Amino acid sequence: MSLTREEVAKIAHLARLALTPEELEHYQDQLSAVLDYAAHLNELDLAGVEPSLHAIGGASAPRQNVMREDVITPSLPLEDVLFNAAETDQDQFLIQSVLDE
């Protein structure tokens, strides 16, 4: 299948990636090629096949919901949490305003 330039631009925006016009063109070809390859899966009859929703399962190693006791334990110090942020203010991560005034 072949993606249009507009479809690639839409995917890039959904993925929050600013792309140059050259990148858009490049990815249009490359993503189309990978999706063509993925189309091989259409050869298979998947009626009645359950999806593998868990990375590991079965009798040897069941893993479904994993819960722990609701016990309060210490968190990282605030200064460690904020250390890598580009901007902070009053012990919080600072971002640009999202809502209009």
Partner 1 sequence: MDPALLTLTELRAALRRGDTTSLAVTQAMLDRIVAYDNDLFCYLTVTDEAALEAAAAADRRRAAGEDTPLLGIPVAVKDIICTAGVRTTAGSKILEDFIPPYNAFVIDKLTAAGAVILGKTNTDEFAMGSSTENSAYVTTRNPWDTSRVPGGSSGGSAAAVAAGLAYGALGTDTGGSVRQPASFCGLVGLRPTYGRMSRWGVIAFASSLDQVGTFGRTVTDCATLFQVTAGYDPRDSTSLDVAVPDCVAALTGDIRGLRVGVPREYFIEGIEPEVESAVRAAIDQLAALGAEIVEVSLPHTQYGLPVYYLIAPAEASANLARYDGSRFGPRARGEDMIDTVERTRALFGPEVKRRVMLGTYALSAGYYDEYYGRALKVRTLIRRDFQAAFAQVDVIAAPTSPTTAFAIGERADDPLSMYLADIFTLPLNLSTACGLSVPCGFDSRGLPIGLQLVGDTLQEARILNAAYAYEQATEWHRRRPPDPIKT
**Residue numbers at the binding site for partner 1 (CB under 8 A):** 8, 11-19, 23, 26-27, 30-31, 33-35, 37-42, 44, 46, 49-58, 60-61, 63, 66, 68, 76-77, 80-81, 83-87, 93, 95-98
Q: Give the orientation angle of helix 21-38 with respect to helix 5-14, to 10 degrees.
A: 90
Could you tell me if 94 and 87 are in contact, meaning their C-beta atoms sit under 8 angstroms apart? Answer: yes
Checking phi first, is residue 48 left (phi over 0); if not, alpha (psi -120 to 50) or beta?
left
Q: Least distance (Å) from partner 1 to the CB of residue 5? A: 13
Using CA atoms, how far apart are residues 21 and 6, in angstroms rounded to an integer? 11
Q: Measured from the CB atom, is 21 or 77 closer to partner 1?
A: 77
Q: Least distance (Å) from partner 1 to the CB of residue 69? A: 10
Q: Least distance (Å) from partner 1 to the CB of residue 91? A: 13
Phi, then psi, of 88 in degrees rounded to 5? -135, 160
